[in-house]
Amino acid sequence: MCGIIGYVGEREALCVLLGGLRRLEYRGYDSAGVALQEKGRIVVVRKVGKIGVLEQELAGKTFTSRCGIGHTRWATHGVPADHNAHPHTDCRKTLALVHNGIIENYRALRERLLAEGHRFLSETDSEVVAHLLEGDGSPLERILRTLPLLEGSYALCILFAEEPGVLYGVRQFSPLILGIGDGEYFLASDVPAFLEYTRKAVFLEDGEIVRVSKDGWEVFHRTGEKCSKTVFTVPWDPVSAERGGFKHFMLKEIHEQPRVFEDTIAGRVNLARGEVEFEELEDFPLDFSRVVAVACGTACHAGMLGKLYLEDFVHVPVDVEYASEFRYRDPLLDEKTLVLAISQSGETADTLRAVELAKQKGARILAVCNVLGSSLTRLADWTVYTRAGIEIGVASTKAFLAQMTVLLLFGLFWGKRKGTLPPGTMESLLEEMPTLPRKMRTLLSREEDIHVLAREFYLFKDFLYLGRGLYYPLALEGALKLKEISYIHAEGLAAGEMKHGPIALIEPDVASFVLVGQGERRLKVLGNIEEIKARRGKVIALCDEGDGEVRGKADYVVEIPKTLEVFSPLLAIVPLQLFAYYVALEKGCDVDQPRNLAKSVTVE
């Protein structure tokens, strides 16, 4: 949830750290700080507020250090305040550290340290680690001695005054990646922090410690033994971590969706053979009797859509669960259960814990994930990557599109092999599929219409998003997008449930975004529009192009190009995302860094 960056090399460390923090700010942004090894001592500067506040504090100060650590925080223990910001130091400032995660037993450790005479400057759990690291022995020995005392999750990056030009990193249930440049090294909680300098990376495993100096790096297990590691090349382009002329990352990422769709199907859809292929799934058994999708937030909405695809194409029962609920139950799973874990980051704590539980119970895991080498991919039996590229906007957009795409393809892949795909389905879907990027671009070209619509609605206080069938998960997703970036109360509902309660909410100042699908559900949803209008509620209807009947009933209409029903969510999501974006913009909200949120929820 917080962002960590460490640097050692020939450049001015402060400049690298601030650049890295800017790129990590999406992980947390209530305070930030840096620690530098400056002429034999450790200098710490930390401020509550966004990185800009820290930069102002540093302006005019000169630092020459080539080695340092930085942190951007999303508060868990201790309110956002200067003294709770990282880095933290020990009493004598012999070391400084930044931490991502939660030290669960920090109260007991703190009591013990207080009794021993340690003086604390913050209310954080992280500071106890700095105090525990004091004492005799080399820095590595002190780290090895301290780790067994810690319970919980942590990625740590540590500087010791006595070892100039050396950084230590430790990983336990919270990501930490070593970036390998030419005579320079980076430690970061996330690749974008150093992507500008290198694409070569080593992913630390839980229980590993890395020691880095400008002369090289070595990794140790927490037992003290050295480990050999593989260096990966991250397939991301540094430009993808920039806004590229767009006002916000979210808007840029919405616009990237036609390309994301093309990338996600590339090499997986064989038009000539009329097949969907996944080289990652060569040994995938076809005889699972049941699927349980576990995920959080937007990824869970993708899972709900995946359920509909899989049940249709594969005839396998699918349950969808919030990972945060699933992990605290005693779920019924066995080796015939496939657990489908969906996550953009691959680092969401609840999803990881749900997967660990499922593994203990004998289930096999298929991850649908966007981040190479993330924790989820290392737990899974199979991983299908969504090729969305780096997603920086806190509100997930292009990753959702890629998740929906992968789940649709996976349904086709499995259904074809199992023989459950209705005849002609593959052919008609593969014929239509190449038209989707063009149709998405058409929707994006109508962006200004959505902006105009957003100006009509940005002062509303309540929104209902209604949909049936494939549009029900989209209704949930549309509502989530609106509430997380514009702070407007929004509820996603199965339109058929309206009469069972929510219709009581309808009045003239409640807006309903009604998603009108195709087939037999269309008429039912038209009935829902009538019911809302009869109670003088305002209706925006999303429907297929040329649906004159909807135009006659709703106050405002958003049309999507005609496509096969199974693909309609991939198009409908674009105006829903744009609407949330422009409402937030009109309200003056901070779109890329919405209040109280951070990109990846790596703590519980």
Residue closer to ligand M6R, measured from CB, 69 or 490: 490
Query: Under rule CB under 6 A, which residues in 220-259 are in contact with ligand M6R?
Result: none
Q: Which range binds ligand M6R by CB under 6 A, 132-140, 290-298, 503-511, 539-547?
A: 290-298
Q: What is the DSSP letter of 392?
A: -
Q: Is 589 a catalytic residue?
A: no
Residue closer to ligand M6R, measured from CB, 526 or 601: 601
Helix ranges, 81-158 (H): 106-115, 127-132, 139-146
Asked if 297 touches ligand M6R (CB under 6 A), the answer is yes
Q: How far is the CB of 410 from ligand M6R (least distance, A)?
A: 17
Asked if 577 touches ligand M6R (CB under 6 A), the answer is no
Asked if 568 touches ligand M6R (CB under 6 A), the answer is no
Chain-centroid distance of CA 62 in Å reads 36
What distances in angstroms separate CA 330 from CA 192, 354, 360, one per listed residue? 37, 11, 11
Amino acid in the structure at residue 119: R
CB-neighbour burial class of residue 445 (10 A; exposed 0-12, middle 13-18, buried 19+): exposed
Q: Interface mask (CB under 6 A) for ligand M6R, residues 487-526, using x and -?
A: ----------------------------------------
Token readout for 460 is: 């509303």
Asked if 601 touches ligand M6R (CB under 6 A), the answer is yes
* Direct distance between the N- and C-terminal alpha carbons of the chain, in angstroms, rounded to an integer: 10
Which residue of the set 252, 481, 483, 599 is catalytic? 599
Q: Which range binds ligand M6R by CB under 6 A, 187-195, 255-263, 295-303, 412-420?
A: 295-303
> In the set 299, 308, 436, 541, which binds ligand M6R (CB under 6 A)?
299
Q: Is 398 a catalytic residue?
A: no
Amino acid in the structure at residue 377: T
Q: Which range binds ligand M6R by CB under 6 A, 7-15, 127-135, 266-274, 344-352?
A: 344-352
Distance (Å, rounded) from C-alpha 88 to C-alpha 82? Answer: 11
Distance (Å, rounded) from C-alpha 112 to C-alpha 114? Answer: 5
Distance (Å, rounded) from C-alpha 557 to C-alpha 515? Answer: 10
User: Which residue from 6, 9, 26, 31 is spatially nearest to 86, judged by alpha carbons?
Assistant: 31
Query: Under rule CB under 6 A, which residues in 351-380 are in contact with ligand M6R?
Result: 351
Q: In the bound complex, which residue of the shown chain has the CB atom lying closest to ligand M6R?
A: 297
Residue closer to ligand M6R, measured from CB, 103 or 479: 479
Q: How far is the CB of 535 from ligand M6R (least distance, A)?
A: 31
Name the strand (E) or helix (H) holding 406. helix 398-418
What distances in angstroms separate CA 269 from CA 130, 134, 422, 507, 556, one per listed residue? 52, 57, 18, 47, 37
> In the set 31, 343, 405, 528, which binds ligand M6R (CB under 6 A)?
343
Helix ranges, 518-567 (H): 519-534, 548-553
Residue closer to ligand M6R, measured from CB, 175 or 181: 175
Q: How far is the CB of 463 from ligand M6R (least distance, A)?
A: 16
Total count of residues recorded for the chain: 604
Contact residues for ligand M6R, defined by CB under 6 A: 296-299, 343-345, 348, 351, 394-396, 480, 484, 600-601
Catalytic residues: 2, 599
